[in-house]
Amino acid sequence: MAYQAEYIWIDGTEPTPLLRSKTKILADGKTPPVWGFDGSSTNQAPGDKSDCMLKPVFTCPDPIRGRDNILVLCEVDNARDGKPHPTNTRAACVRASKKYAQHEMIFGIEQEYTLLKLDGTPLGFPDGGFPAPQGPYYCGVGAGRVVARELIEEHTQACIDAGLMIEGTNAEVMPGQWEFQIGAADALTVSDHLTVARWLLHRIAEDFNIVVSLAAKPQKGDWNGAGAHTNFSTKAMRNDTNMKAIKAACEAIGKKVDLHIKNYGHDIESRLTGAHETAPYNRFSYGVSNRGASIRIPWQVELAGKGYAEDRRPNANVDPYVVTRLIIETVCGAAER
């Protein structure tokens, strides 16, 4: 019996790329092949040289269609020479992961997002006004404090059914804002799983007539922005008992503030203000249990003297392949000097 394969890829939209997908019908038992698409319609090619190539890199069960149908995450390559397209950030992450494989780096990403009405206002905000100030919404329960739980439950179960490494969910600080966590795993696995989880979130939200926003600051004013806190750990960080490797990693990242901030997602300056549990985008700091620092070291890690650290600066709209690659190159590169 034929089955459906939903090919998913990241496009070339700026400043924040969008997810795209289309369906291929395949004969039973046939492996998803390389496919193509019109790059001139996705900001990835001019009209006179419009063909781009989709190269499958990760597949999982399709929890929406069920049965034997699958989701197929793809890299985008140039159709003419088969080389990675300029928008293909995964290819560079592959190279960095191979180069520094001996450090056995693992990641966990906390994906925050905001649910919007079709008019662009956050779900849970009254028409033409504002809800009560932040306070009761984070990890809240009850009408008037939490909205769209049915959507979140459906998305969570879809991620589980797809075999994604989803670790948890919670309501966030602003009404209409939620979070799910992916990991812990190597850079490619966590990024692939996060990308598919994002696609599932957008797709399921369609059925609720709700818009999913990954904007850094979807609601101006005294409201939290949306981030993608990135937890990271090398083998040395997990094995040391004196915090030496963890502090060295933080110090290495602190020497490349501009490089990381530039690549941590669009409109990062509006979110990293020094307020709302953030550090200023142009100043670097790290500390134990400090959610106002650039990098937070959990108190359990200080107690054990080993473990991981959390870079709190990446935006919700960050490219996971870029943030994991940068941390690999910065931390592991410094460790080899």
- Angle at which helix 149-161 crosses helix 187-207, to 10 degrees, equals 130
Sign of torsion, CA 198 199 203 206?
positive
pLDDT of residue 105: 98
> Cα–Cα distance between 236 and 230 in angstroms, integer?
18
| pLDDT (0 to 100) of residue 238 | 97
Rounded distance between C-alpha atoms, residue 68 and residue 294, angstroms? 44
pLDDT less than 50: residues of the chain? none
Predicted pLDDT at 1: 87
**Helices (H), ranges, the chain:** 89-99, 149-161, 187-207, 235-239, 244-254, 257-262, 268-271, 299-304, 320-327, 333-335
Predicted pLDDT at 241? 85
pTM over 0.85: yes
pLDDT, position 269 = 97
pLDDT at 248: 97
